[in-house]
Amino acid sequence: MKFNLSTGTLYIYPLRTVLRWAREAGFDGVELVVNPEAIARGGQAVRRLADAEKMPIESVHPTVVPLPGWWERRGGMDRTIPLAREIGAQTVVMHTPKVHSLEVGAGLAFRQRVETWQTRLAGGSLRLAIENKNIHSPADWRYALTSLERLRAFADRYDLGLVLDTTHAGTAGADLLCARQLFDGRLAEVHLSDQGGRPPLPMLPLPEDMWSQHRFPGTGDLTLVELLAALAGDGYAGPVILEVHPLALHLWWPPAVRRRLARAVAWMRAAAGQAAGHPGA
């Protein structure tokens, strides 16, 4: 099992800084979230930077802000996939479309794009992996690939990897150990964060989505220790990627960020070796 860091967690910092902090904290690699710097540098230059910092970029995630030409919902994957290829990544993450059917309209177009991407990637080392959906409202359940069972069937049909996002599973009320078993054989990576628990700053009227999702591991209600222990017991060799809200790392203060990164990777490594609880942050 590898323990990686999502650069999206520290999106505002220069890529060299994030790579260096990840290495110093003890991470094995990173998942690059496409940002303006990566676009401006280009894939080959980003790869050289990662090599110089001795921190491999093992996967690429679409941009999380609507950058012109790169937004996933508006054709951005056609640029993200070649970028990932140039970087030498092993996986490109994709997300489920907000459509009620995959047989007509935008749903059919999405399915056809997946077929095209898979044809282009055939025979290469880069793999597409699709992530389980976050549930923001009851309306999200009506989308075609919200159900974990339907998502697994879709991945089987198009030979896709699966990304298990623990917070997204938590918002859907899914049992993490059951989700792991359902994704078995196609699990490409795990996006690790906690969900629920007590507000970190109860005196401040923060929106629930801001404090209750993508929390620091061990501070919420999810069975993360049990999940990591089960993955380790199964011999899972893929990446477990820390993907927490920037506030969880205190991004406004670099010394705190570095300390919390080190605490997070230590927590992850310890949790993977046991089935009992572990103190949080």
The DSSP line for 216-255 is PTTSSSS-HHHHHHHHHHTT--SEEEE---GGGGTTT-HH
Asked whether residue 78 is assigned to any structural domain, the reply reads: yes
**Lookup result for tokens 């196609």:** 186
Burial class (CB in 10 A: 0-12, 13-18, 19+), 250: middle
Burial class (CB in 10 A: 0-12, 13-18, 19+), 267: buried
Q: What is the pLDDT of residues 100-114, one digit of tens each?
A: 999 999 999 999 999
**Lookup result for tokens 């591991």:** 217
Q: Which two tokens stand for residue 62?
A: 């679409």
Spatial CA neighbour of 190 closest among 80, 248, 247, 268: 268
- Say how far apart CA 177 and CA 189 lie, in whole Å: 15
Question: What is the distance, to the nearest Å, from the Cα of residue 24 to the centroid of all Cα atoms in its chain?
Answer: 21
Backbone angles phi, psi at 31, to 5 degrees: -105, 120
Asked whether residue 75 is assigned to any structural domain, the reply reads: yes
pLDDT at position 273: 83
Backbone angles phi, psi at 235, to 5 degrees: 75, 25
Q: Which amino acid is at 72?
A: E
Query: Do the beta carbons of residue 58 and residue 33 sit within 8 Å?
Result: no
pLDDT at position 274: 66
DSSP per residue over 66-78, as a string? --TTT-GGGTTHH
Asked whether residue 279 is assigned to any structural domain, the reply reads: no
CA atoms within 13 Å, Cβ hemisphere of 2: 21
Number of domains in the chain: 1
**Lookup result for tokens 């923060």:** 206
pLDDT at position 277: 42
- Mean residue pLDDT of the chain comes to 92
Asked whether residue 252 is assigned to any structural domain, the reply reads: yes
Helix (H), strand (E) at residue 86: helix 77-87
Q: What does the longest C-alpha to C-alpha distance in the chain come to?
A: 55
Domain that holds residue 43: 2-272
- Percent of all residues in the chain with a pLDDT value above 70, rounded to a whole number: 91
Asked whether residue 277 is assigned to any structural domain, the reply reads: no
Whole-prediction pTM = 0.92
- Percent of all residues in the chain with a pLDDT value above 90, rounded to a whole number: 88
pLDDT at position 68: 93
Asked whether residue 258 is assigned to any structural domain, the reply reads: yes
Q: What is the pLDDT of residues 161-215, one digit of tens each?
A: 999 999 999 999 999 999 999 999 999 999 999 998 676 655 445 555 555 778 9
More confident residue, 183 or 281: 183
pLDDT at position 196: 81
Asked whether residue 245 is assigned to any structural domain, the reply reads: yes
Burial class (CB in 10 A: 0-12, 13-18, 19+), 241: buried
Asked whether residue 259 is assigned to any structural domain, the reply reads: yes
Average pLDDT over residues 2-30: 97
Q: For the domain that residue 198 is a member of, what is the CATH number?
A: 3.20.20.150
Spatial CA neighbour of 26 closest among 226, 277, 244, 267: 267
Query: Do the beta carbons of residue 80 and residue 92 sit within 8 Å?
Result: yes
CA atoms within 13 Å, Cβ hemisphere of 115: 8
pLDDT at position 213: 79
- Say how far apart CA 259 and CA 281 lie, in whole Å: 11
Q: How confident is the model at residue 71 (pLDDT cuts 50, 70, 90)?
A: very high
Spatial CA neighbour of 81 closest among 109, 118, 110: 118
